[in-house]
Amino acid sequence: MDCIMEFQLILSRASLLTGRLPVRNGFYTTNAHARNAYTPQEIVGGISKDEILLPQVLKKKGYVNKIIGKWHLGHRTHHLPLEHGFDEWLGAPNCHFGPYNNSDRPNIPVYNNSQMVGRYYEEFEIDKKTGESNLTQIYLKEGLDFIFHQAKARRPFFLYWAADATHAPVYASKRFLGKSQRGRYGDAVMELDDSVGQILNSLRDLGIDKDTFVFFTSDNGAALMSGPKQSGSNGPFLCGKETTFEGGMREPAIAWWPGHIPAGTVSQQLGSVMDLFSTSLSLAGLNVPEDRAIDGLDLSPVLLNNTHVNRPIFYYRGNEMMAVRLGPYKAHYWTWSNSWEEFNQGIDFCPGQEVAGVTTHTQQEHTMQPIIFHLGRDPGEKYPISVLTKEYQDALSRITPVVVKHKNGLVPGLPQLNMCDLAVMNWAPPGCEKLGKCLKAPKSQPWKCDWPH
Amino acid sequence: MDCIMEFQLILSRASLLTGRLPVRNGFYTTNAHARNAYTPQEIVGGISKDEILLPQVLKKKGYVNKIIGKWHLGHRTHHLPLEHGFDEWLGAPNCHFGPYNNSDRPNIPVYNNSQMVGRYYEEFEIDKKTGESNLTQIYLKEGLDFIFHQAKARRPFFLYWAADATHAPVYASKRFLGKSQRGRYGDAVMELDDSVGQILNSLRDLGIDKDTFVFFTSDNGAALMSGPKQSGSNGPFLCGKETTFEGGMREPAIAWWPGHIPAGTVSQQLGSVMDLFSTSLSLAGLNVPEDRAIDGLDLSPVLLNNTHVNRPIFYYRGNEMMAVRLGPYKAHYWTWSNSWEEFNQGIDFCPGQEVAGVTTHTQQEHTMQPIIFHLGRDPGEKYPISVLTKEYQDALSRITPVVVKHKNGLVPGLPQLNMCDLAVMNWAPPGCEKLGKCLKAPKSQPWKCDWPH
């Protein structure tokens, strides 16, 4: 019933919904070289109206589309989910950071569709001290209700269940707090696991399990700089979130579709979160947009018949292709974990790990002679293959034309994450007036966003 | 049918067979502080006649005892298995290193019972270039034959199946070479896995599976200094073989006994290879020797009823207790990976890993303020708990009396691994004359063994 794959992720939820690399869909910055950008409250940009999102295409076949949880594709009104193909939303444009002082920085609003219904740490409580919050339960109930109503109405649906857990600050509801053997982080994982189980059970109970394709994965590797109390582990992999090493990009991925995906299968297929765009459309009998480059592949043959496609994966930080994977080989053209300055402040993306010339704190270029690892025998990227070996030369001679082709065909999108402005923050989201929770925005003073890594 | 446990191992097969720490049974050195000693060909010592081995006790109940494979408890005639409780042996006193030049260093002999039947790389071929060897198949066939004959004769038996694989130099038989996705090392693991499967199947076919307790584990963590082509991975754990970090000491452990050990159980019990001594005797209805300290625990209640015992584990290097584990906490009293001198020669026990003040290349004492890790949230030993926290003080206050009690009760055995001598090597093992393979030993010139780490 499930198929476990090795999954490579791009630093963006935008890629999942557009099937395109961040450098194409605009979710990157050109303010500095190779910077990881994202969408804090002060970001001006967001998902462009020119991008075509998965729910927009699914609508053609009558799908009802809902997102529950974190959006992160821009927080200004025109960037929100209902403007980009979703019919329903319960959740927030950003993560549950906070609590913030409302005069300098407002708490993140939670939306029900296009109206805010409160804010994190105000109407949606998260006790940072005890770690108690019902947030996952709220999102779970919303998901189960949605599934129930669509099943009863016999409507095809797409549910993007994007729980905030297990992002730091880590929380769990009372029933799970203290229950795991891995502290509060483990409690949060346990609650997430229980929630997924309840969702699968509801599909079975409603008799639609054989008609529902379910995919579970994560948006990045464990955030080791928050570890170990506020983060998971990346097992044998090098470094964590924010890096293009395996600990930053390789994820568990489980596909579930009783009667269609053979139970207990393990696939060696190299996949990407962008493939979910193409694969979902294929399963729904729809074509991907033909007027633009789509990076995702239709993996339905892999899932349904355990076939295999040899395909490259490109690892970006901002505007730079840092690395590429082809077959078992991964070639690093640029290495960087974070700056010495940040590292010396105690921010460590690779705690306890250090591979000479690889986990560098200066941006190092290796484009003339990339650092190559064999991820089969060295999944931890600890033993660079000697450039003097035939193996290195053979691998590079296969990788080089793939990289050349990719770079020659690349038309970067307009970078959306270059400009910041306190005035665009969530001061007065739609619906605030009904709640008496509108705040006064400061004067607009846009500046170039500063991305430290 | 199987129970998976977390297993802590001591650097010695002697501990498995005596149920005692190396510092008690003599398998250590006092030539220098905190040195990992073992039994190369030139070692003078071995298992003392004063030690009581598992097969010696099992004999009281009529068990037939056989060892297949690597012995490593001393290679001189009076140290060999048939002198210490085993009835049968096919295997070698040392590992399959070589090939050696017979004038400086003879190849390791392979024994059938008390007579050599040939030598590795001579009669027992291991092609270092292609990686082909039938050694695991030879040991498998010997094991299956032994089980068959004991089952037919309805005799109780103890089989210590100690295959040489997957030690470097790595090999596999033709059927497995090139079959895994992990190179030659993976091929060797695959062959070992297949062999264990065949052994379990034979127990089922002979109808004695419900009467046979099977335990699978390893004698140490992956030998990372040989990696990645000649070694496995330690996943998230710190460092590898030769160290007292988790990567050196924590092992997979699987217990199998259909009808007695509930299928698919996972136990959180902290176990040690020494427990196999006490547990096996308990299952056979025998008592452990009462005239000496036994470090192993009887884990049969854990295996049969999934109970739990809170017990410490002491991690030694030679004559020094380097660390102790109690519950989820591990306290390091001494840290050392290997010397700067050795490290600078390219020998690295912790490739790609570096935890400040922990993976030290000088021997560092922390006895006044041990470095403590919580292995639940930090199995990789990467985040030392701050000494300023209540958690540190609480953990230390529970650990300290356990250490004091252990040290006060410790009577070290006579160190067996202090003296080396080329004259005692395998020049002319019993049986060599029948094969015309006796070699001339040099004059005896004993010296203190030099253990580099």
User: What is the mean pLDDT of the segment spanning B343-362?
Assistant: 96
User: Is B233's CB within 8 Å of A379's CB?
Assistant: yes
CB A181 to CB B376 under 8 A? yes
Instruction: Say if residues A172 and A180 touch (Cβ distance below 8 Å).
Output: no
What percent of chain A is predicted at pLDDT more than 70? 98
DSSP 3-state assignment of A268? Answer: strand
User: In this complex, do B377 and A353 lie within 8 Å of one another by their Cβ atoms?
Assistant: no
What pLDDT is attached to residue A10? Answer: 40
Return the pLDDT at B10: 40
Q: Are A297 and A280 in contact (CB under 8 A)?
A: no
pLDDT (0 to 100) of residue A3: 46
Judged against a pLDDT cut of 90, whether residue A51 lies above it is answered with: yes
Q: Are strands B329-332 and B334-335 parallel, antiparallel or unpaired?
A: unpaired
Confidence category of residue A263, pLDDT binned at 50, 70, 90: confident
Residue A22 preceded by cis peptide, ω within 30: no
Provide the token pair at B259. Answer: 């009808």
Inter-residue contact B338 to B359 (CB < 8 Å): no
H/E stretch holding A184:
helix A183-205
Written as one letter, the residue type at B355 is V
Q: What pLDDT score does A8 carry?
A: 47
At A171, list the tokens: 């929380």
Q: Which of B186, B236, B381 sits opposite A236 (nearest CB)?
A: B236
Residue B245 pLDDT exceeds 60:
yes
Tell me the residue type at A57.
Answer: V
Mean pLDDT of A151-157: 97
Cα dist from A359 to A223, A334, A362, whole Å: 16, 10, 9
Spatial separation of the C-alpha atoms in residues B175 and B173, rounded to whole Å: 6
Tokens of A382: 């600890």
Partners of A235 on chain B (C-beta within 8 Å) are 235-236
Q: Is this prediction's ipTM beyond 0.85?
A: no
> How would you classify the pairing of strands A64-70 and A88-92?
parallel
Cβ–Cβ below 8 Å for A183 and B377: yes
Say if CB B268 and CB A181 are below 8 A apart: yes
* Token pair in block for residue B333: 């009293």
A132: burial class by Cβ within 10 Å (0-12, 13-18, 19+)?
middle
Min Cα separation A8/chain B (Å):
19
For the stretch A171-215, pLDDT in tens is 999 999 999 989 999 999 999 999 999 999 999 999 999 999 999
Residue-wise pLDDT for B2-49, tens only, equals: 445 455 434 479 999 999 999 999 999 999 999 999 999 999 999 999
Q: Do B233 and A380 touch (CB under 8 A)?
A: yes
Q: With beta carbons under 8 A apart, name residues in chain B contacting A381.
A: 352
Please write the tens of the pLDDT for every residue from A410-434. 999 999 999 999 999 999 999 999 9
**Dihedral of the CA atoms A388, A390, A392, A397 (nearest 10)?**
120
Average pLDDT over residues B294-307: 96
Region class of A271: left (phi > 0), else alpha (psi between -120 and 50), else beta: beta
State the DSSP H helix or E strand holding residue A217, giving kind and residue range, or none if neither: strand A214-217
Looking up tokens 């008592």 gives B287
Residue spans of beta strands (DSSP E) within A234-341: 250-256, 265-272, 313-317, 320-326, 329-332, 334-335
Q: Which chain A residue has the Cα nearest residue B247?
A: A236
Taking a C-beta distance cutoff of 8 angstroms, is the pair B246, B375 a contact? yes
Task: Choose the closest CB to A378 out of B228, B268, B380.
Answer: B228
**Average pLDDT, rounded, for chain B:** 95
Q: For the segment B318-334, what is each residue's pLDDT rounded down to a tens digit?
A: 999 999 999 999 999 99
- Residues 6 or more apart whose CB falls under 8 angstroms from that of B150 comprise B64, B156, B157
**A interface residues, B as partner, C-beta within 8 Å:** 181-183, 185-186, 227-229, 233-236, 238, 268, 328, 351-355, 374, 376-383
Question: Which residue does chain A place closest to B358, by CA atoms?
Answer: A352
Q: Is B137 helix (H, G, I), strand (E, B) or coil?
A: helix
Band (pLDDT 50/70/90 cuts) for residue A227 is: confident
pLDDT tens digits along A7-50: 543 447 999 999 999 999 999 999 999 999 999 999 999 999 99
pTM: 0.89
Closest CA to B405 of B299, B311, B272: B311
Question: Looking at the partner chain, which of B183, B228, B378 has a beta carbon nearest the beta carbon of A383?
Answer: B228
| Angle, CA A378 vertex, CA B196 and CA B348 arms, to 5° | 95
Distance CA B437, CA B453 (A): 35
Using a CB-CB cut-off of 8 Å, the residues of chain A touching B351 are: 355, 382-383
CB nearest to B377's CB, from A229, A236, A383: A229
List, in sequence order, every residue forming a beta bridge with B254; answer none if it has no partner: B4, B216
Res B4: pLDDT: 52
CB-CB neighbors (< 8 A) of B378 in chain A:
227-228
Give A31-84 as a DSSP string: SSTT------TTB---S-TTS--HHHHHGGGT-EEEEEEE--S--SGGGSGGGT
pLDDT of A7: 53
Which of A190, A230, A250, A377 would best serve as a mutation to test chain B binding (most B beta carbons within 10 A)? A377
Distance CA A186, CA B164 (A): 38
DSSP assignment letter at A151: H
- Which residues of chain A have a CB within 8 Å of the CB of B328? 181
The residues, any chain, with a CB within 8 Å of residue B52's CB and separated by 6 or more, are B18, B289, B292
Instruction: Say what the pLDDT of residue B263 is.
Output: 86
Contact state of B228 with A181 under an 8 Å Cβ cutoff: no
Q: What one-letter code names the amino acid at A224? A: L
Q: Scanning every residue of chain A, which has its alpha carbon at the shortest distance from the alpha carbon of B359?
A: A352
The string of pLDDT tens digits covering residues B210-231 is: 999 999 999 999 999 998 999 9
Residues of A in contact with B229 (CB under 8 A): 377
Q: Give yes or no for a contact between B229 and A377, defined as CB atoms under 8 angstroms apart.
A: yes
Is the pLDDT at A1 greater than 60? The verdict is no
pLDDT at A441: 96
Of B38, B28, B9, nearest to B237 by C-alpha is B9
- In this predicted structure, the answer to whether residue A5 has a pLDDT above a threshold of 60 is no
pLDDT over threshold 70, residue B170: yes
Pick among A230, A329, A373, A382 to test the B interface (most B CBs inside 10 A): A382
Pairing of strands A419-420, B88-92: unpaired
Per-position DSSP letters for A75-128, written without gaps between them: -SGGGSGGGTT-SEEEEESS----PPPTTTSPPPEEEETTEEEEEBTTTB-B-T
Q: In terms of CA atoms, which chain A residue is nearest residue B382?
A: A352
Q: How many other CB atoms sit within 10 Å of the CB of residue A389?
A: 11
What's the pLDDT at B227?
A: 85
For residues A17 and B15, what is the distance between their CA atoms, to the nearest angstrom?
A: 57
Nearest chain A Cα distance for residue B219, angstroms: 21
Nearest to A377 among B228, B268, B381 (CB): B228
Tell me which residue of B271, B115, B143 sits closest to B212, measured CA to CA.
Answer: B143
Closest partner residue to A227 among B229, B235, B383, by Cβ? B383
**pLDDT tens digits along A359-396:** 999 999 999 999 999 999 999 999 999 999 999 999 99
Give the residue from B187, B267, B269, B382 with the most A CB atoms within 10 Å of its CB, the best one to mutate.
Answer: B382
Residues 6+ apart with CB under 8 A from A40: A94, A420
Tokens read off for B182: 């992990």
Is the C-alpha dihedral spanning A7, A8, A13, A14 positive or negative? negative
CB contact under 8 A, B181 and A378: no
Mean pLDDT of the region B157-173: 96
